[in-house]
Amino acid sequence: MFLQIEQLFQNQSDIGMILQTLFSLSFIIYLFYAQRIQAMSMLRQVEGTLRKVKSLRDEGRSVSIKAVKEVGKQDLDPALDVDRFMDHFFITPVDMDPAGVVQKLGQLLNVRENVWEAEVRAMAPEASDSQVNNLENLLEAALALNIYYKVIRHYYLLGKKTMNIYIIMQIHMILPLIVREIEAYSSALQAFQEGMPIGDGIGPLVAARMMHGYEYEEVAKEMVAAEVPYEGRTLIVIKAKGPGGSVGKPGDAVGNLINGRKGEKKIKAVIMVDAAGKLEGEATGSIAEGIGAAIGGAGVEKYKIEEAVKAHEIPMYAIAIKEDISHVVAPMVEELFKAAEKAVEAIKRMVVERTEEGDVVLVAGIGNTVGIAQ
Amino acid sequence: MGSTTGTEYPSMSLSWVTLAVVVVIGIFSLFSLYMGFRAFGSENPENSTYYIIIGTAGFAVIGYMFFRTKAITTTRRKSDAPKVDVVTILECPSCNLKRVRDFKRGDYIYKDDEPCTRCDGTMVITGIHRRAEDKKKA
């Protein structure tokens, strides 16, 4: 048999003809099926990512269950409660008539916050306030991973079902960006499980550096403020109340402090410090100064701050500390940690340059204060 | 989220059909290489180029298929979310002694932690961050 097959290839013209036929055949196949081949190739890449995301989603779920069991000290298995939490959804208010949409969104966010807190307390009744906050953040990270997984799976299955290259391309094109966000959320699991400071906590860290050692009081839900004297001025430094994972209500805190100073000296300037996404090429931990409300999120807190400063014509300055998207909810990197001191110096310089002796300045450290007390 | 267990999407992993294809391509490639080496000493040495191209292309295809399969298997096994080393920095406010140790659960910045080893003061946690080696990877 071996010799018979060998005879097939004996003649030079035979092998040349076979090769030519093969090339012609592959050309014709590619002519008609190029798009399908490309679609299959993209689907395969999406599938690989989907496997990874599924693995991370499962990891998020198991870490959450483990953490609830550890903190809650209950005999009941929290798996069903965790699964229910991971499927929570949020419907934003209708914005066809935009008047009052921020208040509506704010009210819905408050409801969600209260419901989540109640759910976590029910899962872990023995947990302290800080532990409840950390568990809530951990479950939020697991929820985000679950949503990413389900959306990618949706496009993958839809693409596979229809073999429509445009459906597949939609998810394939943004896959690298999505993967970065997913990896960031998976890093958050460790941070929230252990209660470590995260990249987003750089704002509260800066505030904590300034207010540590001074008396502080709660000025809004999960927000603390301390009066710090500096170069003849009074700095009112605010941050979310730590060390549990919380962003607090900085909008309410700024509003209460600005509007509540009846009979006292008015606030002359507001300086906000927050982490900001860096562009490729920018160094992690680099500091930039600007104007406006340095705060992310849904926009409700930003709206409240802008309303309060506008009503009193207070200038608002911003300090942004640059970080990569992968650092936002991951344990804080050293470059960011070291940037806190530089940001404190920038604030002090700003206070001296832009205010006068005797002025009152509000300094707000914005972000999640997990692992950072005051 | 009842769909956490069980098959949630069709699999494209290595099946027996793919394995059979790999075996057939392997045999064909091996035979082609054999013919190529034989053709060197024959009357038509130019034929050896054709055979060797076909043989190596076949093995390249097999290699690619194995590479893909390995990547999928690795992804499946490596299910853990990334874990990083985190350090805690402690400082004594009385004698300024500074110490760095591994992060322990319950640590937080500005926590009064442990007694100072040099004086009677209590060490305060002044910093928590990832270990420096991580910045090379990041």
Q: Alpha-carbon torsion A284, A285, A287, A288, what sign?
A: positive
Q: Alpha-carbon torsion B34, B35, B38, B39, what sign?
A: negative
Q: How crowded is the C-beta side of A38, counted as CA atoms within 13 Å?
A: 13
A324 contacts B82? CB cut-off 8 A: no
What is the band of A12 on the pLDDT scale with cuts at 50, 70, 90? low
Task: Confirm or reject contact between A342 and chain B (CB < 8 A).
Answer: no
Q: How many residues does chain A have?
A: 374
pLDDT of residue A37: 87
B1 contact residues in A (CB cutoff 8 A): 61, 83-84, 86-87, 146
Angle at CA of residue A52, ends A48 and A57, nearest 5°: 140
A19 contacts B129? CB cut-off 8 A: no
| Interacting residues of B5 by C-beta distance below 8 A, sequence separation 6+ | none
Average pLDDT over residues B13-23: 76
Q: Rg of the Cα trace of chain A?
A: 28
Residues A132-168: pLDDT tens digits?
999 999 999 999 999 999 999 999 999 999 999 999 9
What is the band of A19 on the pLDDT scale with cuts at 50, 70, 90? confident
Q: Is the pLDDT of residue A184 over 60?
A: yes
Using an 8 Å Cβ cutoff, are B93 and B124 in contact? yes
A60 contacts B44? CB cut-off 8 A: no
Share the mean pLDDT of chain B.
77
Return the CATH fold of A199-365. Answer: Rossmann fold (3.40.50)
DSSP assigned state of B124? E
| Interacting residues of A180 by C-beta distance below 8 A, sequence separation 6+ | A325, A326
B109 contact residues in A (CB cutoff 8 A): 197, 205, 208, 242-243, 371-373
CA dist A347 and A287 (Å) reads 11
Choose the closest CB to A190 out of B71, B79, B84: B84
A195 contacts B82? CB cut-off 8 A: no
Q: Is the pLDDT of residue B24 over 50?
A: yes
Choose the closest CB to B132 out of A50, A187, A334: A334
The DSSP bridge pattern shows strands A216-220 and A223-230 to be antiparallel
| Interacting residues of A354 by C-beta distance below 8 A, sequence separation 6+ | A269, A315, A317
A212 contact residues in B (CB cutoff 8 A): 110
Angle at CA of residue A79, ends A52 and A149, nearest 5°: 25
Residues A72-86: pLDDT tens digits?
777 788 899 999 999
Q: Is B75 exposed, middle or buried (0-12, 13-18, 19+ CB in 10 A)?
A: middle
Average pLDDT over residues A334-353: 95
SS3 content of chain B, % helix, strand, coil (to 5): 45, 20, 35
**Mutation choice for B interface testing from A196, A212, A241, A335 by most B CBs within 10 A:** A196
DSSP assigned state of B80? S
B46 contacts A12? CB cut-off 8 A: yes
Write down the domain spans for chain A: 44-194, 199-365
Residues A255-283: pLDDT tens digits?
999 998 888 889 999 999 999 999 999 99
pLDDT of residue A313: 94
Question: What tokens appear for A177 in the block?
Answer: 């960006």
CA–CA min distance B25, chain A (Å): 15
pLDDT of residue B10: 43
Task: Confirm or reject contact between A183 and chain B (CB < 8 A).
Answer: yes
**Mutation choice for A interface testing from B130, B134, B135 by most A CBs within 10 A:** B130
Share the mean pLDDT of chain A.
91
Write down the domain spans for chain B: 15-77, 86-132
CA dist A191 and B125 (Å) reads 17
Cis peptide before A243, with omega less than 30 degrees from 0? yes
A87 contacts B111? CB cut-off 8 A: no
Q: Is the pLDDT of residue A345 over 60?
A: yes
Task: Confirm or reject contact between B136 and chain A (CB < 8 A).
Answer: no
Determine the longest span between alpha carbons in chain A, in angstroms. Answer: 107
Residues A288-305: pLDDT tens digits?
999 999 999 889 999 999
- In the stretch 154-173 of chain A, residues with CB closer than 8 A to chain B read 156-157, 160
Q: What's the first-to-final CA gap in chain B, in angstroms?
A: 33
Task: Confirm or reject contact between B16 and chain A (CB < 8 A).
Answer: no
CA dist A117 and A125 (Å) reads 11
Choose the closest CB to B9 out of A16, A153, A334: A153
Helix (H) or strand (E) holding A320: strand A316-323
Average pLDDT over residues A121-136: 90
SS3 A269: strand
Question: What tokens appear for A336 in the block?
Answer: 């960011």
B79 contacts A15? CB cut-off 8 A: no
B51 contacts A51? CB cut-off 8 A: no
Please state the ipTM of this predicted complex: 0.84
DSSP assigned state of A126? T
| Weakest-pLDDT range from A110-124, A158-172, A289-303, B41-55 | B41-55
| Weakest-pLDDT range from A7-21, A186-200, B27-41, B100-114 | A7-21
Using an 8 Å Cβ cutoff, are B122 and B112 in contact? yes
What is the band of B3 on the pLDDT scale with cuts at 50, 70, 90? very low
Angle at CA of residue A359, ends A233 and A231, nearest 5°: 20
Average pLDDT over residues A95-124: 93
pTM: 0.81
